[in-house]
Amino acid sequence: MSLDKPIIRVLMLNNEFPPLGGGTGSVNQALLDRFADKERFEIDLVTSARGQKPEQVSYADRIRIFKVPVNNQNIHHSTAREMSTYAWLGWRKASRLQRERPYDLCMTWSTVPAGWIARRLWREHGLPYLVRITGPDIPGFEKRYRLLYPFLAPVIRRIWRDAHTVVVKCAGEAGMVKAVSPLIMPVTIQNGVDMRAFTPSCPPQAGEPLRMVCVGRLVKRKGQDRLIAAVAELKAIGIKVRLELVGAGDEEDAYRRLVEKEGLHDCIVFAGYVPREQIAQHYSKAHVFVLLSDNEGMSVSTLEAMAAGLPLVVSRTGGTDELVDEGGNGVTFGSDDVNGLVLVLRWLAGDPDAVARMGRASLEKARLFTWDHVTLAYTGLFENIAGLRSTMD
């Protein structure tokens, strides 16, 4: 290692990391995979253990993962108790690591709870930090947190204000951040996708049911109940479709009852939780990707669907402008517009050529969202922050 390129030590904070959580943990893991080959960086991640004992994992030669005993009860999302436990135990662990061998910067994968730890480390040790916005950590983003946002908003603003950089994934997130805190000037670093992990799907044959896949946690925000309603309408008018719901979550039992009530056993399959290494085969069996989410940052599953060569039939939300060329590789509509969804799916079910054309367009567009681009952006950001700290020291 040349003397003019010193080691940069990075502390990462994320209360969720696979198998815990959703897209944010998966992106965190993907970025660690890319940094494993970068000899200039040493990375420690402090995250949550599912059990009651601390764990330490050597992820790569220069990457360590420390798991504090949060004892998460649900792999899909964390409770207030679990987030508070992570904040306290994560801060204690991160403080010890910082005292043992100081870091050059801290990257927090959410404003709450990880951002609280980062800001405290900054106040006590002068460690600069960057915050990567998840989406639900923006006040107003998630309906189920509407009662908490008035209390969290002042804390969130302070964490953003004192950060070296606030990172968003799309223009929609940037707009929401500035609406909450107008003085923040966020930096955009989009999510990526591994093109090598996916096999392009085949368009439907004449007379074959249109096979749809929706990949996401079964929670209210993702809108799978509206997809079920659309399938019911399509079946009622004689359109042959099949929907696979990949994922698990708090609403699974309710959605199963809804399928039972509507008599859709022959149309809808619940695949349950699928490990990341097995997810590609579910895309490859589908003709179309559907997602009726109320809000997204930049949907990881939508990027994966693009890499699998699927047309995108999705609601207009964060990241949609960047991922969907209207009528080119997909069609968008309001998250509550079930009638609009039915019309689009009815059209695609009867037009295999359109499905094939849009699928090819998705595959081509996915090539713009590689992990190499994402890693390069974070590398530059880390070097900038570490250089600033060296100048200040």
Q: 129 phi and psi, to 5 degrees?
A: -140, 155
Q: Which segments within 204-293 are labelled E, that is strand? A: 210-215, 241-246, 268-272, 288-291
**Burial per residue of 258-297, b for 16 or more beta-carbon CB atoms within 10 angstroms, e otherwise:** bbeebebeebbbbbeeeeeeebbebbbebbbbbbbbbbbb
Question: CB of 62 within 8 A of CB of 89?
Answer: no
Give the model's confidence band at 78: pLDDT under 50 very low, under 70 low, under 90 confident, else very high. Answer: confident
Residue 19 pLDDT grade (very low, low, confident, very high; cuts 50, 70, 90) = confident
pLDDT class for 205, splitting at 50, 70, 90?
confident
Nearest to 244 by CA among 277, 276, 275, 279: 279
Give the C-alpha distances (Å, rounded to integers) separating 226 from 2, 47, 53, 261, 291.
Answer: 57, 34, 40, 14, 10
The answer to whether 227 touches 270, Cβ cutoff 8 Å, is: no
**How many residues belong to the chain?**
393
Alpha-carbon distance values, 200 to 6, 277, 283, 287, 322 (Å): 42, 16, 8, 10, 21
Name, in order, each residue with C-beta under 8 angstroms of 384's C-beta and a sequence gap of 6 or more: none
Place of tokens 């009622």: 236
Instruction: Read off the pLDDT of each residue in 143-154 and give the average, rounded to a whole number.
Output: 88
Which pair of tokens denotes residue 75?
């792999």
Is residue 3 scored above 50 in pLDDT? Answer: no
pLDDT digits (tens, 9 = 90+) for 101-148: 999 999 999 999 999 999 999 999 999 999 999 999 999 988 878 888
Record the tokens describing residue 376, joined without a space.
Answer: 């390069």
pLDDT tens digits along 224-261:
999 999 999 999 999 999 999 999 988 999 999 999 99
User: How far is residue 100's CA from residue 286's CA, in Å, rounded to a whole number?
Assistant: 51
- Where residue 4 falls among pLDDT bands split at 50, 70, 90? low
- Please report, for residues 156, 264, 333, the alpha-carbon distance to residue 229 in angstroms, rounded to integers and kept in the order given: 37, 10, 16
Whether 392 shows a pLDDT value over 70: the answer reads no
pLDDT at 41: 97
Is pLDDT of 74 > 80? Answer: no
Q: Which residue has the tokens 């360590």?
A: 64
Nearest by Cα to 14 from 147, 148, 112, 142 = 112
Name the percent of the chain lying above pLDDT 70: 97
Give the pLDDT confidence score for residue 148 in this predicted structure. 87
Residue 186 has pLDDT above 90, yes or no: yes
Q: Average pLDDT, stretch 337-353? A: 95
Distance of CA 383 to the CA centre of its chain: 24
Say whether 167 sits in a helix, a strand or coil: strand
Compute the average pLDDT of residues 197-202.
88
> Would the pLDDT of 10 be above 90?
yes
Domains of the chain, first to last: 8-192+370-392 (3.40.50.2000), 195-366 (3.40.50.2000)
Residue 2 clears pLDDT 70, i.e. is over it? no
pLDDT confidence of residue 305: 97
Per-residue model confidence (pLDDT) at position 347? 96
Q: Which residue type occupies 1? A: M
Q: Which amino acid is at 350?
A: G
CA-only gyration radius of the chain, Å: 22
Helix (H), strand (E) at residue 48:
strand 41-49
